[in-house]
Copies of this chain bind each other. A is one copy, B any other.
Amino acid sequence: MIAQTPQPPYYAVIFTSVRTNIDEGYGDMAVEMVELARQQEGFLGVESARNNVGITVSYWESVDAIKNWKANARHLFAQQQGRDKWYLNYKVRICRVEHDYTF
């Protein structure tokens, strides 16, 4: 559940969102997107939780891997569905992980 990522540096995409009350298709698409992300070149792992706000952090080898995933055709469709139905608002932050430690 805690992503097993390699030694830094690597990259993180922090996706923070607030949902609408529309569930139509959301759960299936969320599962599909995680499965699809795992198949992408450069994917390292993902962590996700939701209460009032949802936070999904995906980890990647490079900025190019993130750009390729953002431009994936099925993912583009999911992003548009998200803006049309599932999300009131969201913020995406692209980060370089410089240091990490574990307990």
Chain A residues with CB under 8 Å of chain B are 1-3, 5, 8, 12, 14, 16-18, 47-55, 57, 82-83, 87, 89-103
Contact = CB atoms under 8 A, between A and B. Distances in A.
Q: Is the interface of A mostly helix, strand, loop or mixed?
A: strand
A100 B91 contact: yes
Q: How many copies does the complex hold?
A: 2
Contacts of A5: 93
A2 B16 contact: yes
B103 A93 contact: no
Nearest to A99: B94
Contact of A103 (B50, B54, B89, B96): B89
A17 B3 CA distance: 10
